[in-house]
Amino acid sequence: MITTDTTVHSSPLAPRPAGPRPAGSRAPIRARGDDARGLGAALRSDWIKASTLRANRAILGLTLIGGLVVSWAVAVMVTDQVLTVAEVGFYWTTVSSMLAAIAGVLLFGSEVQHGTLATAITARPARWVLASSKAVTAAGFGLLIGAVGLAAGFGGAAIAGLDAGNTSSLVSTVSWALLFSTLSAVLGLGVVMIVRHNTAAIAGILVWGYVAENLFKLFLPAEVARFLPFVAGNHLLAYKSDLESPHALAIALSRAENAAVFGCYAAIALAVGTLLLYRRDTE
Amino acid sequence: MITVSQLTKRYGKRVAVDDLSFEVAAGRVTGFVGPNGAGKSTTMRMMVGLTRPDSGEVRCSGVRYRDLKSPARTVGSVLDARCMHPGRTARDHLRATAALSGMSRSRVPAVLAEVGLESAADQRAGKFSLGMRQRLALAGALLGEPEILLLDEPSNGLDPDGIRWLRDYLSGFARRGGTVFVSSHLIGELSMFAHDLVVIGGGKLLVAEPLAAITARNDVAVVIETPHSARLLALLAERGLPTDGTAGRVVVRGTSRAAVSKLAFDHGIHVVGLTETSRSLEDSLLDLTRASAEFASAATS
């Protein structure tokens, strides 16, 4: 339903405060510190933007419900091995990290799609402020999605009645999983800042993460394949995959190294995207 | 005020804006006119830093846009009223814009009231009509209580009541000392409230003058309907006046209706009709920009 103008009534001219500065005087000029202070303003704006969109709430809802359902289903249906909450709780993280990447894409991609990027640039001409704010917001949202996904994963497994299992390294693994989700959101942001198209960015990330890398692993040497972004990222979760060869498992990078690899991809995408923000949006 | 100095922008071999220089004075409404593809939108994008000029510069209140400490407090711009997320309410759209500009959130209800959108504040922008989107975009431009308003085709989609409201608002803004720079294809509408006109064509400046000066130059023609058109034409030609005539109708320039009436009376020429006409502002400007129009429709027979 389109609301027509007949429902809106013209208002009388509102009284305005004192007029502009005297003719001939100059407007205040931006100083170095103004941009840094502007970062706080940009963060507040991005928080409002992120929290007022139904798409973001839908992603969080999907993360929560999907995690509960998938973890419960795995716990109930896999009966040929002994599973624990500490293991099953992380299974959903691979998917929730993809959802975090999608959220990162939408954070910037929707601004391009609906033209609000131009409005943002006119409000804050310093493009690094906008890029930094988007990166921090993406990271925060990715962290939130990761936390919700883990809570749902553990919750679904617990509801299914699994034992807690070995929790000695749980805190460590949870931390790495949250980092994976956080960096995934930043990677998604960087990718869409480069391609400037929501669908292309989301499809590209999904196809790369779920299809391309699995194909590459078939013919690339394990020494090379371990540096693929989502291979490195998924290894932050530390559960062993039956699909990996003993040789690949033997030469696997440590979690810190995997985090550095995945983080580099996210950082490079973000850096290139920021550079393009300067070049493309001051055409 | 806005100062545009030797602004040039090229896209490949095509020169979109060619050495453009003019000033937009404070306390006045300046209309920005030109055919499609003349360079109006490119010029306005360069004014707010969205497009980098190849040479020249634009200064708003003496400062380049990118150097402004608080752009929103100096310049409020509406270059495309569609620039809003359809899933966000009007209130949230303005809250986000106000936050980014460093404005107090109390400005949000104030500007919603100024543009008459209080009752629609919590509706999603996707359900807005084009006119409501125009008002919301204007509200966003007013958040910082700017000195300068830059508006690109702001009356698109507005109904007559909305157009009148906009006209009154911009006139009041200029009366209070603000600078208004508005581009429009509606020359007749602009002529009702603009003080000055900047006309460009093919990226070049054609005219930058007060509107009164432009309209004063329009030719006044006297049209006489008479059964003795040949005699009248001969009399007018003896006096060196430029004429144009068909059977029963004579058009003469450079004289007045009173003078033609006296001439006809003195020579016993029966006059059936005697009127004075002037070319409309629209005709004058269309003639001015015709040569530089990028897209021109075929002449109607």
Nearest CA in chain A to B99: A45
Q: Give me the phi and psi of A124, to 5 degrees please.
A: -135, 90
CA-CA-CA-CA torsion sign (B247, B249, B250, B253): negative
Q: Which of B83, B129, B158 sits opposite A116 (nearest CB)?
A: B83
**Average pLDDT score over chain A:** 86
Does the pLDDT of residue B29 top 90, yes or no? yes
A39, A123 Cβ separation under 8 angstroms? no
Predicted confidence at residue A282, as pLDDT, reads: 59
Judging contacts by C-beta atoms under 8 Å, the chain B residues touching residue A13 are 114, 168-169, 172
pLDDT tens column, A53-94: 899 999 999 999 999 999 999 999 988 888 888 888 888 998
For the ranges A80-94, B17-31, B147-161, B202-216, the one whose mean pLDDT is highest: B17-31
**Top-level class of domain B2-209:** alpha beta
Largest CA distance in chain B: 78
Separation of alpha carbons B25 and B2, rounded Å: 7
| Tokens found for residue A240 | 């062993």
Q: Return the pLDDT at B83.
A: 86
Provide, for chain A, the percentages of residues in helix, strand and coil under a 3-state DSSP scheme, each rounded to the nearest 5.
Answer: 70, 0, 25
What pLDDT is stored for residue A166 in this prediction?
A: 82
- Percent of chain B at pLDDT exceeding 70: 91
pLDDT at B216 over 80: no
CB contact under 8 A, B140 and A42: no
| Whole-number pLDDT of residue B53 | 92
Q: So where are chain B's domains?
A: 2-209, 220-278
Q: Pick the closest to residue A129 from A9, A43, A247 (CA basis).
A: A43
What is the rounded CA–CA span in Å between residue B112 and residue B204? 38
State chain A's maximal CA–CA distance in angstroms: 83
Contact A14 B110 (CB under 8 A): yes
How much is the average pLDDT of B193-199?
A: 91
The model carries a pTM of: 0.81
Q: Cβ contacts (< 8 Å) between A34 and chain B: which residues? A: 69
| Mutation site, B100, B107, B161, B171, interface A, largest A CB count within 10 A | B100
Residue in B71, B89, B178 nearest the CB of A123: B71
Q: Is the pLDDT assigned to residue B92 strictly greater than 70?
A: yes
Which residues on chain B are in Cβ contact (under 8 Å) with A4? 129
Question: How far is the C-alpha of B164 from the C-alpha of B192, rounded, in Å?
Answer: 10
User: Which of A4, A8, A57 to mutate to probe the B interface, most B CBs <10 Å?
Assistant: A8
Q: Between residues 23 and 42 of chain A, which touch chain B (CB distance below 8 Å)?
A: 23, 25-31, 34, 38, 41-42
Pairwise CB contact (< 8 Å): B119 & A116:
no
Pick the more confident residue, B181 or B244. Answer: B181
Would the pLDDT of A10 be above 60? no
Q: How far apart are CA B195 and CA B170, in angstroms?
A: 11
Choose from A227-241, B52-66, B147-161 the range with maximum mean pLDDT: B52-66
Is A45–B119 a contact, with Cβ atoms under 8 angstroms apart? no
pLDDT bucket at A19, cuts 50 / 70 / 90: very low
Considering only CA atoms, which of A243, A39, A225 is closest in space to residue A130?
A39
**Is residue A11 over pLDDT 70?**
no
| pLDDT computed for residue A23 by the predictor | 52
Fold of the B220-278 domain: Alpha-Beta Plaits (3.30.70)
Alpha carbon separation from B207 to B183, B184, B199, B200 (Å, rounded): 14, 15, 5, 7
- For the segment A210-258, what is each residue's pLDDT rounded down to a tens digit? 899 989 988 888 889 899 999 899 888 865 555 667 777 778 888 899 9
